[in-house]
Structure 1
Amino acid sequence: MTAAPRDVEKFYSTAEVVAKLRRLADALETDKPFRIQIAGERIRVPARARFSIEHERGDGEEEIEFQLKWTLPEVDGAEGDDEDDDKPVV
């Protein structure tokens, strides 16, 4: 089953962002998967996710995006993402 496409932007309070970033930093530092809820949907980020930082400038605005990116496992199970399923989730 393939997840439906989604592109949302949700604004959070400073305290909420700090809490999410702190948990993310702990997960990255300990090489553990991370779970986060964004706009009502819980998302599991595997420990193997790649991390990048993007900067954009234009039209009188600047933007910095912190991105985590990973590939989804094959539907038929040929290439599963079971390698970190036994690790605790932050």
Structure 2
Amino acid sequence: MTAAPRDVEQFYSTAEVVAKLRRLADALETDKPFRIQIAGERIRVPARARFSIEHERGDGEEEIEFQLKWELPDTDDEAESDDEADKPVV
């Protein structure tokens, strides 16, 4: 099943961003999947995701984006295990 297209931008407090980045860093260091909730949707980022940093400048402002990208599986091979589905997401 293919996920529906989505393009959202969600703003968080500094404390929330720090907590999310700390968990992301731990997942990257240990080569484990990362789970996050953004604008009400739970997302599982696989350990094989590629990480990039993007910088944009224009119209009197600058932007840095930290991006994780991965291909969606064609099959259910990478479906979450039952115990992972119950883990809390921050």
Instruction: With the length of structure 2 as denominator, give the TM-score of the two structures.
Output: 0.85
> Which amino acid counterpart does residue 34 of structure 1 have in structure 2?
F
Matching residue of 1:15: 15
Gaps in structure 2 of 5+ consecutive residues: none
Q: What is the identity percentage for the equivalent residue pairs of Structure 1 and Structure 2?
A: 86
> Which amino acid counterpart does residue 77 of structure 2 have in structure 1?
G
How many pairs are equivalent? 84
Distance 2:62 2:34 in 1: 28
Q: CA RMSD in A?
A: 2.1
How is 1:1-90 mapped onto 2 (pairs within 5 angstroms)? 1-74=1-74, 77=75, 80-81=77-78
Give the match's secondary structure for 1:21.
Answer: helix
Give the match's secondary structure for 1:42.
Answer: strand
Give the match's secondary structure for 1:80.
Answer: helix
Gaps in structure 1 of 5+ consecutive residues: none
- Structure 1 segments of 4 or more deviating over 2 A? 79-82
Give the match's secondary structure for 1:48.
Answer: coil
> Which amino acid counterpart does residue 54 of structure 1 have in structure 2?
E
Q: Which has the higher contact order (CA 8 A, sep 6+)?
A: 1
In the TM superposition, what is the alpha-carbon distance from 1:51 to its structure 2 partner? 0.1
